[in-house]
Amino acid sequence: MRVLFQAVGALGGRVGARFGVAGMSSTGLMSTMPAPAKSTQASITRGIRQVASCSSSAFAAAVASSSFLASSTASAAMPAQLSVVQPFSSSTSLGAQGGGGGGGGGGGVEGRRGERTQSWQPSLASSLSKVRALVYSENGPPESVLRMAEAHPLPEVGHGQVLVKVLAAPINPSDINQIEGTYPNRPPLPAVGGNEGVGVVTDVGAGVKNLKVDDLVVAARYGLGTWREQLVCEEDDLIQVLPDSPLEYAATVVVNPTTAYRMLEDFVNLVEGDVVVQNGATSMVGQAVIQLANVKGVRTINIIRDRPDLAETVRNLQDLGATVVVTEEQAEDRSIMKHVMGDLPPPVLGLNCVGGSSASSILKVLAPGGTIVTYGGMAKKPVTVSASQLIFKDVIVRGFWVSRWVELHSKEERLEMINHLLQLAKDEKLKLQIEKVPFAEYQGALEKALGKRGHSKAKQLLRGCSKAKQLLVME
Amino acid sequence: MRVLFQAVGALGGRVGARFGVAGMSSTGLMSTMPAPAKSTQASITRGIRQVASCSSSAFAAAVASSSFLASSTASAAMPAQLSVVQPFSSSTSLGAQGGGGGGGGGGGVEGRRGERTQSWQPSLASSLSKVRALVYSENGPPESVLRMAEAHPLPEVGHGQVLVKVLAAPINPSDINQIEGTYPNRPPLPAVGGNEGVGVVTDVGAGVKNLKVDDLVVAARYGLGTWREQLVCEEDDLIQVLPDSPLEYAATVVVNPTTAYRMLEDFVNLVEGDVVVQNGATSMVGQAVIQLANVKGVRTINIIRDRPDLAETVRNLQDLGATVVVTEEQAEDRSIMKHVMGDLPPPVLGLNCVGGSSASSILKVLAPGGTIVTYGGMAKKPVTVSASQLIFKDVIVRGFWVSRWVELHSKEERLEMINHLLQLAKDEKLKLQIEKVPFAEYQGALEKALGKRGHSKAKQLLRGCSKAKQLLVME
């Protein structure tokens, strides 16, 4: 891979020393998750430390003040020329949607290697002229508080730091919650949005040990601010991935597939023939669960919401390898579940991103001694478990947060997992429905991610929410 | 210890081959626990097998039919002479209560070794003349379906079997649920009530390897039917305990202190200085938790129901070593909890036998990553846990059932634990409030255990329910 871009200036210099470990933000169905109480939050964030990234906060602060960098953590404050680009007009955004992006109706296997060399190649000219970023200075509705800002020259690459050309970054529900201010992990404001993404190393500073120019990297920690064209960060803020990784998978591997993978690995020792039951099965995590379970020879019972395009949705999940697909209403009926489960053994693992009665449906069919893992709370209703289920049925009720997993495990363990997942993507055993959106057309992508497109038409709403992940492409 | 009684006849002979492992019945606060759904129950009891004990069902069947033993599992059916003793009249029972038994107001440290040799020595004459048992032929309210039956001659002691003179057996809430038919473990009817108790071996059959006459033993498995004066059972149905164990503790060690001990050992690696929070702290399990935690240098926050004698109850728990005692209402108030907890670190373990809002109070104060273990459902309300608590706070929600622990662990492990607990009782580090009741006056004890004494006066009701365990003394 060629050097795609070299640093041509400095903004922010070396800002902020090394920070404590922190994870990427969480899972695919957190968009309706209420924020934890303040006391809880304080406890949780104890170990996570401040998440102001290297040049992330510097960039944002500079943009916000339209002035010199004034970060307290800056060791070298450099003058910066800044301008703020107003969000694109509604018609522009809608136009982007109208075209269906790159994958609205696709099967989720776009952007293979051969295609990427063309479509992903950045324009040197545009990179030289500007460094754009999606910045917010206050918490609130992303469509209101986010703005496309532009700054140049670029930050200086300090000791132990690298310059990264961001190639693509997804919009995860947790990114939205973070901007709204309802997510436990919140970077100091102003901040650049986005926590996940893939890029290529375009410059390395002195003392960098493990990365070199052209390395393909993904964000290793929460708070990097991936919704921008270039960033300078510590070497350790990145994970180098397989050089021939499909880029759209590399861009999205850290949150959703990782969540699915860990939930299948860490709670129950699943063996071939076992059964897993999950709700919210159309989510990105849910789709990954189906496919990763298949790789292990594990079957899946998938609970989804009723919807106008139910038959098509069921078919899509079956195409991914779903063993059983039922609606939430069906899952509440014991006789229906008995019928559809047929000879399947009772599930030893349940995955819940909904809560309320949908979680109860999982608990009902779970095998004695089984575990239910909650990773989202879409219904905004708690998990309710009877004393009998706990005492006599010995069910175990747990939660999973990928940030915590990252916090507690080594970078090597994580690297191994990520490359394993990317290899599965290369082998087409792990497909994700991704809709590529040009960076400039972020508003349309945001609206889809927020489920605001076609709000009056349920079908479009559902499509916007669950059918494809919006992936910002920085070119 | 002398031979207290020798077998003089035979009833039932060797009935039933060896049965699969099964545990003693559960915990101190199960009396209001709803039975699990049938499907759950079927799954749970898969591993527990039928619990018809050696001569237990034979005795009961013979009593019920007033005829010869007709058990299908009997290898030798012997003729038996039977008579049924009608329950004592209400006035008799009330008289027994009026006397306050042996320990109504005591500090729970009665019956030390020196005392036992007098008070526990059986009358040879009465033992020779009759073998009484509390039998039920149908499930229902214990006060209606239980009757004192009398049979002689005694059963023959077969190969691998021993004859035991039962010295004392408690009334546990689970015994009552079993008779009512609301407990998962139910022996075939007719059955002798009672699942826990202490006795002395008075005869051994051929092939018995580990027990000899005079050994002090406790029931090792569920379904022995301990509410009778003598029983014949397999050697393996018994656990030999320290010969100088305080009898009332040996009689009650298998269910409640064991439950408390395992919950403190098996879920969180508690170290000195840690804090445990529990509700239902006045229960037998709760009292054991306080004391066993103290032995480990672990402090306890104890949530109890408001009651007329609150100050006295708080004082009693503090005397046992409780660090903090609060009412359920106080526990729901975050600021009160903050105040009373002072400098205590947040609890890493919560023990719940109530459910509903009381369980929620535990969840609120639990440390991130903490575990809440449910062992009862007194409020008949489920445990409700939010997605945030599961995901961000990483709380773990579990259940404990002592029967399952027994099922999954070796007799040696159990023996070691029981003798450890009995040693603590000897050292006065583990005190239980026990009210001794003569076997013949079982109805009064049952009424107290059922909380029916003084139903209109809350104080007496609470006293009857929580202040002392009713222990039937077979003399």
pLDDT in tens, B405-446: 999 999 999 999 999 999 999 999 999 888 899 999 999 888
The domain defined by A38-254+433-448+467-473 carries CATH number 3.90.180.10: yes
What are residue A291's DSSP bridge partners? Answer: none
Q: Does B416 touch chain A (CB under 8 A)?
A: no
pLDDT for residue B452: 61
In this model, does residue B127 exceed pLDDT 60? no
Q: Does A47 touch chain B (CB under 8 A)?
A: no
Instruction: Give the ipTM of the model, two decimals please.
Output: 0.75
pLDDT for residue B399: 98
Chain B's closest residue to A373, CA to CA, is B390
Q: Does B166 touch chain A (CB under 8 A)?
A: no
Specify whether B183 is catalytic: yes
Write B91-100 long-range contacts (CB < 8 A, 24+). Answer: B92/B441, B92/B443, B93/B441, B93/B443, B93/B444, B93/B447, B94/B444, B95/B444, B96/B437, B96/B438, B96/B441, B96/B443, B96/B444, B96/B445, B97/B444, B97/B447, B97/B448, B97/B453, B100/B435
Q: Does B390 touch chain A (CB under 8 A)?
A: yes
Neighboring chain B residues of A28 at a CB cutoff of 8 Å:
none
Q: Does B5 touch chain A (CB under 8 A)?
A: no
Q: Which residue ranges make up each domain of chain A?
A: 38-254+433-448+467-473, 268-399
Q: Which of residues 313-342 of A touch B (CB under 8 A)?
A: 334
Give, as one character, the DSSP assignment of residue B440: G
DSSP per-residue letters across A398-466: EE--HHHHHHHS-HHHHHHHHHHHHHHHHTTSS---EEEEEGGGHHHHHHHHTT-TTTTSHHHHHIIII
Q: Which of A33, A386, A401 sits opposite B382 (nearest CB)?
A: A386
CATH code, residues B38-253+405-473:
3.90.180.10
Mean pLDDT of chain B, nearest integer: 76
Structure tokens at B436: 């001794």
pLDDT tens, position by position, B273-311: 999 999 999 999 999 999 999 999 999 999 999 999 999
Q: Does A38 touch chain B (CB under 8 A)?
A: no
Cα-based distances in Å from B57 to B13, B173, B190: 12, 21, 6
Residues 6 or more apart whose CB falls under 8 angstroms from that of B171 comprise B194, B445, B446, B449, B469, B470, B471, B472
Residue B87: exposure state from Cβ atoms within 10 A (0-12, 13-18, ≥19):
middle
Write B68-73 long-range contacts (CB < 8 A, 24+). Answer: B69/B11, B69/B12, B69/B13, B69/B15, B71/B12, B71/B15, B71/B16, B73/B15, B73/B16, B73/B17
DSSP per-residue letters across B204-264: E-TT--S--TT-EEEE-STT---SBSEEEEEGGGEEE--TT--HHHHHHTTTHHHHHHHHH
Q: Does A400 touch chain B (CB under 8 A)?
A: yes
Task: Extract the residue ranges of chain A whose pLDDT is less than 50.
Answer: 1-54, 65-127, 453-466
pLDDT tens, position by position, B324-371: 999 999 999 999 999 999 999 999 999 999 999 999 999 999 999 999
Q: Does B183 touch chain A (CB under 8 A)?
A: no
Half-sphere exposure of B228 (CA within 13 A, CB side): 37
Neighboring chain B residues of A394 at a CB cutoff of 8 Å:
399, 401, 404
Choose, from B136, B183, B222, B375, the residue flagged as catalytic: B183
Neighboring chain B residues of A37 at a CB cutoff of 8 Å:
388
Buried-exposed string B330-339: b where 16+ CB fall within 10 A, e elsewhere: bbbeeeebee
DSSP per-residue letters across A14-59: SBS------PPP--TT-TTPPPPPHHHHHHHHHTT-----TTHHHH
Residues 6 or more apart whose CB falls under 8 angstroms from that of A25 comprise A172, A174, A175, A178, A183, A185, A195, A196, A222, A255, A402, A403
Neighboring chain A residues of B26 at a CB cutoff of 8 Å:
391
Rounded Cα gap, residues A410 and A238, in angstroms: 13
Confidence class for position B61, pLDDT limits 50, 70, 90: low
Could you tell me if B246 and B432 are in contact, meaning their C-beta atoms sit under 8 angstroms apart? no
Give, as one character, the DSSP assignment of residue B88: P
Neighboring chain B residues of A368 at a CB cutoff of 8 Å:
40, 43-44
CATH code, residues A268-399:
3.40.50.720
**Residue A391 and residue B385: Cβ atoms within 8 Å?**
no
**Residue B389 and residue A36: Cβ atoms within 8 Å?**
yes
Residues 6 or more apart whose CB falls under 8 angstroms from that of B134 comprise B146, B147, B148, B149, B192, B193, B194, B227, B228, B442
Neighboring chain A residues of B400 at a CB cutoff of 8 Å:
391
pLDDT for residue B58: 55
Structure tokens at A399: 């939660």
The dihedrals phi and psi of B354, each to the nearest 5 degrees, come to -115, -55
In the block, residue with structure tokens 């809002």: B357
Residues 6 or more apart whose CB falls under 8 angstroms from that of A391 comprise B26, B30, B33, B374, B375, B376, B377, B399, B400, B401
In this model, does residue B6 exceed pLDDT 90? no
Q: Does A385 touch chain B (CB under 8 A)?
A: yes
Chain B's closest residue to A25, CA to CA, is B392
pLDDT for residue A58: 55
Q: Which of B346, B368, B390 sits opposite A383 (nearest CB)?
A: B390
**Residue B399 and residue A389: Cβ atoms within 8 Å?**
yes
Structure tokens at A274: 């076992």
**Residue A40 and residue B389: Cβ atoms within 8 Å?**
yes
Q: Which of B33, B36, B385 sits opposite A397 (nearest CB)?
A: B385
pLDDT for residue A5: 27
Could you tell me if B455 and B100 are in contact, meaning their C-beta atoms sit under 8 angstroms apart? no
**Residue B37 and residue A388: Cβ atoms within 8 Å?**
yes
**Residue B26 and residue A391: Cβ atoms within 8 Å?**
yes
**Residue A396 and residue B395: Cβ atoms within 8 Å?**
no
pLDDT for residue B432: 85
Nearest-neighbour CA in chain A from B366: distance (Å): 10
**Residue A382 and residue B377: Cβ atoms within 8 Å?**
no
pLDDT tens, position by position, B66-102: 322 223 333 333 333 334 443 322 232 222 333 333 3
pLDDT for residue A153: 64
Residues 6 or more apart whose CB falls under 8 angstroms from that of A301 comprise A275, A276, A277, A278, A323, A324, A326, A340, A341, A344, A347, A365
Q: Which of B40, B393, B398 sits opposite A396 (nearest CB)?
A: B398
Look at residue A90 and give its three-state secondary structure: helix
Q: How far is CA A142 from the centre of its chain?
A: 16
Residues 6 or more apart whose CB falls under 8 angstroms from that of B327 comprise B303, B304, B305, B306, B310
Q: State the catalytic residues of A.
A: 183
pLDDT for residue B146: 95
Chain B's closest residue to A334, CA to CA, is B39
Interface test with B, best of A178, A348, A392 (most B CBs within 10 A): A392
Chain A's closest residue to B29, CA to CA, is A387
Chain B's closest residue to A404, CA to CA, is B392
Q: Which of B37, B374, B393 sits opposite A390 (nearest CB)?
A: B374
Query: CA dihedral defined by B107, B109, B115, B120, rounded to 10 degrees?
Result: 100
Give, as one character, the DSSP assignment of residue A259: H
Half-sphere exposure of B273 (CA within 13 A, CB side): 2
**Residue A383 and residue B388: Cβ atoms within 8 Å?**
no
Q: Does B375 touch chain A (CB under 8 A)?
A: yes
Rounded Cα gap, residues A293 and A351, in angstroms: 12
Rounded Cα gap, residues A467 and A286, in angstroms: 11
**Residue B393 and residue A35: Cβ atoms within 8 Å?**
no
| E strand or H helix that includes residue A310 | helix A310-320
**Residue A390 and residue B398: Cβ atoms within 8 Å?**
yes
Rounded Cα gap, residues B278 and B289, in angstroms: 9
pLDDT for residue B231: 92
Number of CB pairs < 8 Å for A and B? 141
Chain A's closest residue to B379, CA to CA, is A387
Nearest-neighbour CA in chain B from A44: distance (Å): 7
Nearest-neighbour CA in chain A from B43: distance (Å): 7
Q: Which residue has the higher pLDDT, B467 or A402?
A: A402
Neighboring chain B residues of A38 at a CB cutoff of 8 Å:
none
